[in-house]
């Protein structure tokens, strides 16, 4: 019988967790003839009762496992940790707030079993219930990133997807520190079927994303999957050289014809500011990539565990070399 691991990143989700489990239980029961399940809750350094609730669920239902981070490492780290620890033949990533409907799971599984796909992913067909400014910024982000990146990043794509072992292992091969899943899933390739559904409001609790966090996340995506911004400096350099050459010619000609009355101080200041601004912008872009490289080179772990219901299994399953580099400080 196949086993599906469901990876559920949770950050301060004490209200949503019980609702999620109740809903998921119905789906697991409806599919229990075909598959077994593992619910892998990842506590991303929550400060509320999320961790206690997870432990409780683990005690009551053996299918529930948990990983708990030593602090908040972000959803991307939680997804990575979940995939690393998933023991299923298939793995799905799902938000705990029921914005990723568990009821789609039987269909997703059927598609992977019957059709020649490696993964079934989901996207929102509408952005109902979302602030207008957020929708606008998201749309622009996808426009920009798809223009400058070779990896296709699907607009409105959610992280909710079911994939087979081949694809899980491919995603795990990408052990980079700066993680942007939407890009990683596109980058590894494989055949993906897209399902669409309308935006669903959160079951309980509040969204953990604000415009600032989303902005940083989008920069992560752009710098992670495109180096086009780095060429901006070069293009601008050529453009400015051309402009200055034209200006020199114009000034020489003007001086020869009309003499040289001293004027143009204000325009000079404008040009200085303009050129200075462009230089700073280019240095800034360079800095972004350098910072990412710096973090990658340091080779810090993507996450640290403070506790896990899977600890023993994980140590046994890992090859020795990885065991030595273990990203965990044990229990407690």
Binding positions for ligand UDP, rule: CB under 6 A: 9-11, 13, 44, 72, 74-75, 78, 95-97, 99, 207-209
Convert residues 243-262 into a mask of x (bound to Mg ion by CB under 5 A) and - (unbound): --------------------
Least separation in angstroms between residue 130's CB and Mg ion is 10
Binding status of residue 99 toward Mg ion by CB under 5 A: yes
Instruction: Give the range of 90-98, 234-242, 273-281, 285-293 binding Mg ion by CB under 5 A.
Output: 90-98
Least separation in angstroms between residue 98's CB and Mg ion is 8
- 9 touches, from ligand UDP, Mg ion, none (C-beta below 5 to 8 Å by class): ligand UDP
Please identify, using beta-carbon distances, which residue of 202 and 326 lies nearer to ligand UDP. 202
Least separation in angstroms between residue 298's CB and ligand UDP is 21
Please identify, using beta-carbon distances, which residue of 101 and 106 lies nearer to Mg ion. 101
Q: Is 332 exposed, middle or buried (0-12, 13-18, 19+ CB in 10 A)?
A: exposed
Considering only 14, 97, 100, 118, the residue that binds Mg ion (CB under 5 A) is 97
Please identify, using beta-carbon distances, which residue of 74 and 88 lies nearer to ligand UDP. 74
Least separation in angstroms between residue 132's CB and Mg ion is 18
Least separation in angstroms between residue 67's CB and ligand UDP is 11
Please identify, using beta-carbon distances, which residue of 11 and 66 lies nearer to ligand UDP. 11
Least separation in angstroms between residue 129's CB and Mg ion is 11
* Chain residues that interact with Mg ion, rule: CB under 5 A: 95, 97, 99
């Amino acid at each position: 019988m196949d086993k599906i691991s469901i990876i559920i990143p949770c950050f301060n989700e004490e209200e949503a967790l019980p609702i999620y489990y109740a809903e998921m239980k119905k789906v697991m029961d409806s599919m229990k003839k075909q598959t077994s399940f593992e619910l892998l809750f990842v506590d991303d350094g929550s400060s509320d009762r999320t961790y206690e609730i997870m432990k409780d669920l683990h005690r009551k239902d053996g299918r529930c496992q948990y990983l708990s981070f030593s602090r908040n490492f972000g959803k991307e780290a939680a997804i990575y940790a979940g995939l690393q620890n998933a023991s299923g033949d298939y793995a799905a990533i799902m938000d705990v707030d029921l914005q990723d409907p568990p009821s789609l799971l039987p269909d997703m599984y059927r598609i992977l079993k019957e059709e020649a796909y490696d993964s079934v992913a989901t996207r929102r067909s509408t952005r109902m219930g979302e602030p207008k400014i957020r929708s606008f910024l998201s749309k622009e982000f996808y426009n920009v990133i798809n223009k400058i990146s070779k990896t296709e990043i699907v607009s409105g794509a959610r992280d909710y997807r079911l994939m087979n072992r081949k694809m899980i292992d491919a995603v795990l091969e990408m052990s980079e520190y700066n993680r942007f899943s939407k890009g990683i899933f596109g980058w590894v390739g494989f055949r993906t079927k897209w399902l669409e559904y309308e935006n669903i409001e959160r079951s309980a609790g509040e969204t953990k994303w604000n415009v600032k966090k989303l902005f940083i996340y989008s920069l992560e995506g752009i710098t992670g999957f495109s180096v086009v911004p780095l060429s901006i400096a070069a293009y601008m350099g050529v453009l400015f050289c051309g402009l200055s050459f034209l200006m020199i010619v114009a000034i020489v000609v003007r001086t020869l014809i009309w003499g040289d009355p001293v004027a143009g101080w204000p325009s000079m200041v404008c040009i200085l500011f303009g050129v200075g601004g462009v230089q700073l912008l280019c240095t800034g872009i360079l800095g972004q990539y350098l910072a990412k490289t710096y973090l990658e080179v340091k080779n810090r772990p993507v996450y640290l565990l403070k506790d896990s219901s899977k600890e023993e299994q994980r140590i046994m399953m890992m090859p020795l070399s990885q065991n030595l580099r273990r990203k965990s400080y044990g229990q407690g």
